[in-house]
Amino acid sequence: MLELAQRGGVPLPTGDLEKLKDFLQATDSTSSLVEYIKYFELPIAVLQNVPALERATYELCEDLKSDHVRYAEIRYGPWLHVQQGLSLTDVIRAVLSGWAAGRKAFGLEGGIIVTALRDMPPAQNVALAQVTGRFVNEGVVGFDLAGDEAGHPPILHQDAFRVARSLGLNITIHAGEAAGPESIRQAISMGAVRLGHGVRAQEDSEVVAMIREGGIQLDTAPTSNAQTKAVRRLEDHPLRRFHEQGIKVTISTDSRTVSDVTLTREFETAARVLGCSPAQVWAMNMQALDGGFADEVTRTRLRREFVDVEARLRPAAGGKA
């Protein structure tokens, strides 16, 4: 942040790195999704040129490697990075360039998910879908909708997702985080096969059944879900209960920087706080791979690799996965 702000001429509230974290990282006292989103403002301000976008993407890959991640889907909203003259095409190409370099350097697989923003005019998200479709075979694997859910139901952007589907983009939508079960119904009706979070499905048994019977995957992020108050307390998170009800659930980090979390720590939280067994955490990890948007050949190869790793780890766990 300090380096990119200096190079980009972006004023910061402080030059002290430790104090700067107060403006960059959410905490357990963060009151809502709206407040959580505010912690993205400074990072977005410094990511307004091609070198910064390439560097941030590449260094994210480096961080993922250090966390022993093999498969990643990186999501971001291109409309947030055009404030200083970049086009949507410029932004997408810059992130794909950083991803290509980071993927090669650090042995990652996966791809990029382009995210539309709920509070933008629907026509602008249609335009984003049209531009994104040009990159389907260049590393972009999906199309998403995120942002403040209050007053911005998914259905307002159904045209953008109709375009995205027609261009071959896989669909995932943030729903059931700040807004309730109705947002989940709408997201599924718009073609979402995965939902970002979806934890508030627990408020409606019919929606839970719809998710389970439809094979919809919920990509949860327990630390973030507690910070945004999608769940009242971390201990209340329905991850384990959803898994035991036969729902496809995965564990993700949401924002590694804003939530100050790694995937390893999220796995530890699932076990230590939510009571998931190692076998359940492993099943969720494998579900993330099975439900991934990258090509099937890649995911099949990684599945064999993961199974081999599990076999080696099993003796160390006393015969338990």
How many angstroms separate the Cα of 307 from the Cα of each of 10, 301, 314? 47, 10, 10
Domain residue spans of the chain: 2-7+32-316
Closest to 120 in 3D by CA, of 73, 90, 88, 93: 88
What are the pLDDT digits (tens) for 41-75? 999 999 999 999 999 999 999 999 999 999 999 99
pLDDT for the residue 266: 98
pLDDT band per the 50, 70, 90 thresholds, residue 318: low
| Exposure on the CB side of residue 86, measured as CA atoms within 13 A | 21
Give the torsion sign (CA, 72, 215, 249, 231): positive
pLDDT band per the 50, 70, 90 thresholds, residue 303: very high
Whether the Cβ atoms of residue 106 and residue 65 lie closer than 8 Å to each other: yes
What are the pLDDT digits (tens) for 152-161? 999 999 999 9
CATH fold of 2-7+32-316: TIM Barrel (3.20.20)
Q: Write out the two tokens for 51.
A: 């070198």
Say yes or no to pLDDT of 135 above 90: yes
Confirm whether 109 is a catalytic residue: no
Q: To the nearest 5 percent, what fractions of the chain are helix, strand and coil?
A: 55, 10, 35
The letter for the amino acid at 267 is: F
Instruction: Strand 140-146: give its sheet, edge to edge.
Output: 71-76, 109-117, 140-146, 170-175, 194-197, 217-220, 248-251
What ranges in the chain are assigned the alpha helix state H? Answer: 2-8, 17-20, 33-38, 41-46, 50-66, 88-106, 122-132, 158-166, 181-189, 205-214, 222-227, 239-244, 263-272, 278-290, 296-316
pLDDT for the residue 150: 80
For residues 292-316, give the mean pLDDT: 91
How many angstroms separate the Cα of 32 from the Cα of each of 29, 254, 258, 266? 9, 15, 13, 20
DSSP letter string, 51-66 = HHHHHHHHHHHHHHHH
Largest CA distance in the chain: 57
Tell me the whole-structure pTM to 2 decimals.
Answer: 0.95
Mean pLDDT across the chain: 95
Q: How far apart are CA 63 and CA 69, in angstroms?
A: 9
What are the pLDDT digits (tens) for 182-222? 999 999 999 999 999 999 999 999 999 999 999 999 999 99
Whether the Cβ atoms of residue 196 and residue 154 lie closer than 8 Å to each other: no
Say yes or no to pLDDT of 317 above 80: no
Say yes or no to pLDDT of 306 above 90: yes
Active-site annotation holder among 18, 177, 213, 266: 177
pLDDT band per the 50, 70, 90 thresholds, residue 310: confident
pLDDT for the residue 321: 46
